[in-house]
Chain A
Amino acid sequence: MFEILFISTINGVLYGMLLFLMASGLTVIFSMMGVLNLAHASFYMLGAFFGFEITLHMGFWAGLVFAPLIVAGIGMVVERYGLRHVHRHGHVAELLFTFGLTFVIQEVVEMVWGKLPVDYRVPASLDFSAFTVFATTYPAFKIFALLVSVVIFLALLMVIRRTRIGLIVQAALSHPDMVGMLGHNVDRVFMLVFGVGVALAAVAGVIAGPVLVTQSNMAGLLGPILFVVVVVGGLGSLGGAFVASLLIGLVQTYAVAFNISLADVFGSSPLSGDVAFYLDDLWNVTVAQVAPILPYLLLVLILIFRPRGLMGTNNR
C-alpha cells in the first residue's frame, strides 16, 4: 500500500509539472493580455515538431533553444498582423480567431510532417534512469522536465512581480492609454508578451514531445486539460496554475491507483428492478475507471462554487 502511494505521488508530481509547463504560457498570455488563447496547444505542438526537426540536424539542446525562438517569432507575427486587429472587436472575436488558428496550424503540420507520429527521441545525454524506487525506474529526462518547469515558474514569478518589465506589462493591461502616454509602446509590449507566452508552450512541446507521442493530433489531446488547469487555478494566476497542475496530476494518479467503487464501500447495490438495471453500472464503476474525468468534474465544481478559481484575484 505504501509502495503504490509513494509511487503514485512521484508520478502525480511529474505529470503535474508537465501540465504546468504547458499551462504556464497560457496563464501568462491571459493574465497580461486578457486574451484566452485557444490555439495555445497548437503552439505547443509546433514546438514539439520544430524541436524534432532541429534535433535531427543539430541536437536536442539546439532544439530546446531555437524551437521556442522560432515559435515566438511566429507568435509575434500572429499577434501583430492578426490578433491585434481582432482585439478591437472584443473577446468573442479573439476566441474565434484563435480557435480558427488551431485548424490552420494542424493542417500545416499535417502537410509538412504527415499524419503519422514522428520518431522524436529522448537525447542520449539524458537517456538513463535517474533513480529507482521499489523497482520502478524514473528516467532522468522526466526529472529534467520537472526542473525546467520549476525554473520557469520561479523566473516568471520574479519577472512579473519584481521587475520593471512586469510592472509595465501589468499596467498596460489595466491602463493602456496611461502607459502609452508615459512613452511606452503598448502594442509592442503586447506583441512581446504573446511571443513569450507561445515560446513557453514551445518549450513544453520540445520537452514533452519525446515523452509523449509527437503527432499532428497532439494539440487536440492536451487542449482541454490545459484550460482545466488555468480555470481551476484561477484565470491569470501563475501561482494558481502551479497549484492546480499539481492538484490535477495527483488527483488523476491517485484515482487510477484505486479500484474502489461504491459497491465496495457500501456493499452490493441496494436497488432492484428497472432502476437497478440502469444504475448498477454506476454503482459498480471504480474510481480508476473515471480517473481521467475527475479533472473536468473539478472544473465544473470550481466554476459553480468558486468561479474565480483557487487563487484567482477577480471574476473577470
Chain B
Amino acid sequence: MKKLVASTVLALSVIGASVVPAAADNIKIGYVDPLSGGAASIGQIGLNQLNFIADTANKNGGINGEQVEVIGYDNQINPQTSLVQVQKAIDEGVRIIIQGNGSSVGSAIEGFVAKYNRRNPDAHIVYLNYGAIDPVMTNDNCSYWHFGFDANTNVKMAALTNFIKQRAEIKKVYLINQDYSFGHAVADTAVSMLKEKRPDIEIVGNEFHPLVKITDFSPYIAKIKASGADTVITSNWGQDFSLLIKAAGQSGLDVNWYTYYAGAAGGPTAIKQADMAGRVFQINEGISNLGYEPAENTAREYGARYKDAPVLFPRIFNTTAMLFKAIEAAGSQDPADFIPKLEGMKYASFSAGGDSFMRKDDHQLFQPLYISSFGPLASDKAFDEEHTGWGWNKVGEIAAKDTVVPTTCKMKRPG
C-alpha cells in the first residue's frame, strides 16, 4: 500500500511538472521523425535544432508573446507509425507538424493531414515538410495544408545538370541509387535532363541497390570501374552513402561524385576516411562558410550547445523562420490564419540571405541552391564538418529564379 501511495504521488508530480509549462496558448510544434533505430542519428539532429530554435525564440520573448514548444514523436521512419504519431500529436493539441525524413512518410502524412482537415473543418492542421523531396508531393498530390521547404528532386536535378552542362570534361556518367521511389525519381530525372542538356554524355550505368541492406559495396565499385565512368551521380544517404564512398576509396576508384546527401550525418566522416578531397560534390540549400554573419553566429552558438553533433540543416532554420514570420504577420497561431501569409512569402534564406519565395501554386519553396565540394578548408573558413578538419567549399550557386520548374499541381483551397 505504501508503495502504491508513493508511486501515485510520483506519477502525479510528473504529470504536474509537465502540465504547468504547457500553457494553452503555447505554439506547439510536433516533430514526427525517427528518434530510434537506424535513422535516429539524423532524426535526433533535427530535434536538437528545433529545440535550439524554440529556446532562442523564447529567450527573445516568444512569437507574438507566445512560447514555442517542440514535442518529438518517434515515427521509426515508418509511414504507418507516422500516422499514429500524427494523430497522437493532434490529440495533444499540436496543430503544426514538422517532418523531413523519407518521402514515403511525407506522402502518407500529406494525405492524412488533408483528409483530417476535410473531416474536421474546424481543426486546421498544417504539415511543414523540410526534407521529403519526392516531386509528387508538390505536383500531382499537392495539398493546401502542406508546404515543401527543401528543393524537390526535379529542382535539384535541374540545377545539378545545369552545372554539369558547363563541365566539358564529363563524358561518361554512372547512376547508382537506392531501390525505392526516391532513388528511382532521381535516376529518371537525371537520365531525361542529361539527355536534353548534354546529349553527348553517355550514361554507362543505371544501378539500383536495396535500401540500407548492403554491407560490402566493392562489387558495385568494380562495376563502376569496368564501365569506364568519369562521374557518378547518387542520391544515397546515411550508411548507403558512407559505405559506398568508403568502398570507392579503398579500391582507388578515380571518379567525381555528384550527390544529394553527402553532407548528411556520417557522410563527411566517410569522405575524409576515404581521403577523397575535392572529389565529392553535393547540391543543397546551404552550407557553412558562406561568409554570412547571421548564419555564422547561429552556427557558432549551435555548435557550442551540441558539441557531439554540430551539424546544421539550413532547411530546418528556413522552415521555422518562415513559420514564425507567418504567425507574426497573421497575429495568430491558427494555421487557417497564417497559411495565407506563408503563400507567396518572400524570405532571405538562412545560409547567405539569398532571395527565396514560397510559390503559391504548389507550396514549393524556391531558394538559392549551392553546389559545393568537400575537402580541406582555406584558413579563413571557420566551420569544419563532424570534427574532420574538412568542410564544404562552394563551387557553384544557382539563384532561386533559375531553379523554377513547372508544376502540375491543381490546388484545392478550402472554402
Contact = CB atoms under 8 A, between A and B. Distances in A.
A139 B250 contact: yes
A212 to B, nearest CB: 6
B125 to A, nearest CB: 29
Contacts of A117: 41, 239, 242, 265-266, 269-270
Nearest to B387: A119
B179 A289 contact: yes
Interface residues of A, number: 47
Contacts of B239: 117, 213, 215, 217, 221
A302 interface: no
Contacts of A139: 250
B40 interface: yes
A116 interface: yes
B246 A11 contact: no
Given A137-B252, A138-B251, A215 B266 contact: yes
A314 B364 CA distance: 62
Interface stretch (B220-228, B295-303, B313-321, B349-357): B220-228
A257 B226 CA distance: 10
Contact of A8 (B40, B213, B222, B269): B222
Contacts of A211: 246, 250
B78 to A, nearest CB: 15
B302 to A, nearest CB: 15
A14 B219 CA distance: 11
Contacts of B388: 119
Contacts of B216: 11, 15, 18, 249, 252-253
A151 B270 CA distance: 30
A188 interface: no
B266 A116 contact: yes
A308 interface: no
Contacts of B208: 289
B2 to A, nearest CB: 30
A118 B212 CA distance: 18
27 contacts: A7-B226, A8-B219, A11-B219, A14-B218, A18-B216, A115-B41, A116-B41, A117-B239, A117-B242, A117-B266, A117-B270, A119-B272, A136-B252, A137-B252, A138-B250, A142-B250, A211-B246, A213-B239, A213-B242, A213-B243, A217-B38, A225-B215, A252-B219, A253-B218, A256-B209, A257-B222, A288-B207
